[in-house]
Structure 1
Amino acid sequence: MAMFVHLTAAANTPRIRRAGIRADSRGQGGVRGVYCFPVLPSYTLTHQWLRELARFGPKGALSAVHVRLDDAQEVLVGHYRDRAKGAQQWLTAAEAVARVAAQPDPRGWEVVVPRAISTREVHRIRAVPQVAGWRYVPDAHGTRPCTCFGCRIRGEYGGRRLRERHPHPLDGPPPPVPVLLARIEAAGDPGDPAALRDALHWFGLRRRGPVDHLTRLAAHPDPTVRRDLVWAVQGWSTPGVAELLDLLAEDPHPDVREAVADVREP
């Protein structure tokens, strides 16, 4: 029997004791299953995902759920960077443990069990210190975090102080709405694509915006402007965003339609 550890919110442990672990995560290729990691001699490596999961996962403490799987159980194993490339491999549970243990640096490796975990397979549940593991990426310690809009996490602890110490040239704060609208007006009709895309970049850093003033850009002849319009308004809570995205979902250019599909993907 192969031993793995699954990290989850401490609040989930009563349900796991009663009904097991649900297969509610998505792995490579959309595989539904349970993320876990082999139990290695090193405590730090075994629980390496703790701090990273705490950044994105549920609030509160995390617990470690040890599970025993049949050696012949097929699992998906590989480095997390291989997930997007489709390079993770299907191995038996025993082979997965051997593969990860043989790595000179197993940080960042993951295992997906493509089914739910039953209560009979749960070996034990215990509390774990919340300071083990890496954050951002392995070996990130000592490297200045990126504060650009794509890398930052809204509401992350200490995020505002980090951005104040290391401001990013494209990080904001965005100019006021009247200033951005004046730039769009000055770009002309239909408008210079570079000037419009620059204004849309700053609109994308806002939580709300003037949808009615930007709707005309859905008919701009440059598809890059229409694509950037999708990304600019997709996070707004302003009424009319859904209707604008519906219009752009029927755009003749595939890049624009793909952008709408990406922002609407659950």
Structure 2
Amino acid sequence: MSFLNLENKTFLITGVANKKSVAYFSAKTLQDNGADLIFTVQNEDIKEKVAKLFPEKKIYILDVENTESVSALGNQLAAENVKLDGFLHSIAFANYSEGIKPFHETKLEDYLQASNISCFSLVALSNSLKQVMQPDASVVTISISSTKATNYGYMGPIKASLDAAVLFLAKSFASDTKVRFNAVCSGPLKTSASAGIPGYIDNYLYAEQLTMRHQALETQEVANSVVFLLSPASSGINASAMVVDAGMSSNYFDESVVGAFAKRE
């Protein structure tokens, strides 16, 4: 038995769309450590891509904006006698088609859609999948290390809401299970999803200098934390937000960064 004890355990993975995502790295690491995987994807095109990345795995199409689709997933897995040892919630969306605006100019429809997809989907999926979860299953969601980056727009408050949802889901499930809920709060990463955020690359380069090692956070490092929290090895961790940012959030006054600013002409 390995330290992580993932052999023959089954996890549902959401959010795999390509080989750059946290979800992909997490799924690959879980599989490499003996776990079996089930996937949900947004549409048929992504299903074909994931099928190539993870051959012979069950893949279900899931529309988290459709309550019937979310409910059907849990019922279908129950009908197939699936028992989940946990699942990874790696789903987020924000409409940046008009660029980043001041927060007070956020459109209600944009905020509600992003909140539904990026935050409430964790609540809805947890409710739907509760019937097929093992009593000591682990649920992990992907959040961010700092919710205050201006160019992240209204997704900052939504991610803060996601962090709060983790706490209250943990409390809610504790009434009759030992299911754990935790968030991995990642620093900036070089992913396809982040590329769609206006001005992200500048924040990414700045964040790299703020890490204590002056080296950008790697997606695999975040995935390693996800896998640990999904595993029985983290059984004592619940209702927590694990910050994984190479020290960035504790190093805003890095001497080299402050020095470079002070010497500007």
Larger RCO (alpha carbons 8 Å, 6+ apart): 2
In the superposition, the TM-score normalised over structure 2's length comes to 0.24
TM-score relative to the length of structure 1: 0.24
